[in-house]
Amino acid sequence: PDPSISMGVFSGIIVGLVTAGLYRRFHDIRLPDYLAFFGGKRFVPIITALVTLVLGALFGLIWPPIQGAINAAGQGIVALGPIGTGLYGCLNRLLIPFGLHHVLNTYVWFQLGTYHTAHGVVTGDLNRYFAGDPTAGNFMAGFFPVMMFGLPAACLAMIRRAQYPRVAAGILLSAALTSFLTGVTEPIEFAFLFVAPVLFLIHAVLTGTALAICTILGIRIGFTFSAGLIDYLINFSKANTSQPLLLLLIGLIYAVVYYCIFSFCIERFNLATPGRGGTTTDSRSDWILPESQRGPRSGEATAGAAAPERVSTAGDADERLAAELLAALGGQENVESVEGCITRLRLFISEPGRIDEARLRSLGAAGVIRHGKIVQVVMGTQSDRLASRMKQLMKQSDRQREQAAVPPASQDEIQGRR
C-alpha cells in the first residue's frame, strides 16, 4: 500500500453524509419476525458497516487519480504565488452563501503543502504554521486586514449612510466588534449579502487582493479560530510570524478603502443595506434584530386596520416568532429537524412545496436557500435562539399529541384500581 494516498478529512465528510442518509432511510425499517431484534435503529450500524466496506473498496480505486489532481491543483495555486492566494481569498468569500467555503478551507488549511518535523510529516497551511514551518501562513495572513479593519469600516459606512441610523447601529456595531475581536464575519456579510449582492461581490474581490498583497510583502501569520484581534495577539510573537506590524498598516488602508467604496455604492445605487430601503415586508432592513426590537412592518396592524392572520402563541417575542416560522414552514409536522448557527436556521423539511417564502420574508428572513429537502433560512444573529424555541414548541406539540392519543380511563377502571 502507498501511505501517501489518504482521503484525509474528506473520508470523514463522506462517511458522515452516507451515515446520515442511511439513518433517514432505514431507522424505522421493519424486518421479518425472526430478525425483528435487528430492525429499526439497530439496523443502521449494520447497513452502514456494509456500505462503508463497499465505499472503501470503491475509493481505493478512484481516489488515487483524484488525489493526484488535487495535489496538482494545490501545487498550481502555490506556483501562482500571490495570484493563487488571491484566487483562494476571493473564492473563500464567494462560497459563503452556499456553505461550501469549508470544503475549500479544509484542503488549503489542512492538506496543502508538506513540512517535515521530528514527529512526522505535517500538511496544510494552518497545521504547518503551528508546526513551525517558516513558509506557512500566507493563506491566512490576508484575512486579518479584512476582518479586523475592512468589514468594521463597512459597518461604519452603512451606519453613516442609513436612513434609520439607530436601527443600523443596533444591527452593525456588535457585528463589527465581533468581527474585529474574533474574525466572525457572517453577521456582517449576511446583513448585506441578499439586499446588496454587488457589495458582497466587491467584498470578495477585496479579500482576494488582501491575500495577494500580503503574499507579495511576505507577511505570514496564522490563526486557530479566525483572523481577529485575539488570534493576532496570540500569534504576534511566534517565531515563524513575519512582519505582523505591517499587517496593521495594510488593515488601516483597507478600512479606508472599504469605507469609501461602501459609502459610494450605497449612495450611488441606493442599496437597501440595514437602516435603508423603507420598511416593506419584502426588503426589511432590520431583519437581523430580534423581533422585539424591529420597527413596524408596512401594512402591519394599526388601530382598526386589517392585518394578516398571525399565530396566537403565549410567551415572549421569540416564542411567538418561532411559532410563526414553523407555520410558514408548512407546520410543525413538516419540520423534521432544525438547527441554528450564527445567522441561519438549518432545517430538514418533509414537503418543501409547503413552505411560504413570502411569509418567511415578512417575518424577517433575509433569504431562503433550498437544496431539496434541506432548507436554510437566514434570520440573523437570533437564529440559534430561535432554533431552540422551535425545538421546544415541536417537543410540546409531540407530547400533546401523545397525551391526546391515550384514551381516558373509564369510571369502572378507576373504581377497579381503587
Q: What is the pLDDT of residues 95-132, one digit of tens each?
A: 888 777 877 888 889 888 889 998 889 999 999 999 99
Tens digit of pLDDT for each residue in 55-68? 999 988 998 888 77
pLDDT value, residue 33: 78
Going along the chain from its start, the domains and CATH numbers come out as: 1-79 (no CATH), 81-281 (no CATH), 317-404 (3.30.1360.60)
To the query of whether residue 341 is one of the catalytic residues in this protein, the response is yes
Q: Is the pLDDT of residue 154 over 50?
A: yes
pLDDT value, residue 287: 45
- Using CB atoms within 10 A of its CB, is residue 340 exposed (0-12), middle (13-18) or buried (19+)? buried
Rounded-to-integer distance, Cα 49 and Cα 60, Å: 16
Q: Is the pLDDT of residue 329 over 50?
A: yes
Is-above-0.85 flag for pTM? no
Pick from 158, 179, 180: nearest CA to 170: 158
Who has greater pLDDT, 164 or 180?
180
Rounded-to-integer distance, Cα 216 and Cα 82, Å: 6
Mean pLDDT over the full length of the chain: 84
Catalytic annotation, pick one of 155, 214, 265, 341? 341
pLDDT value, residue 311: 45
pLDDT value, residue 239: 94
Tens digit of pLDDT for each residue in 171-227? 899 999 999 999 999 889 988 988 899 999 999 999 999 999 999 999 999 999 999
Q: Which of 302-316, 355-369, 397-411 has the lowest mean pLDDT?
A: 302-316
Rounded-to-integer distance, Cα 417 and Cα 300, Å: 56
pLDDT value, residue 401: 76
pLDDT value, residue 14: 87
As a whole number, mean pLDDT of residues 65-77 equals 75
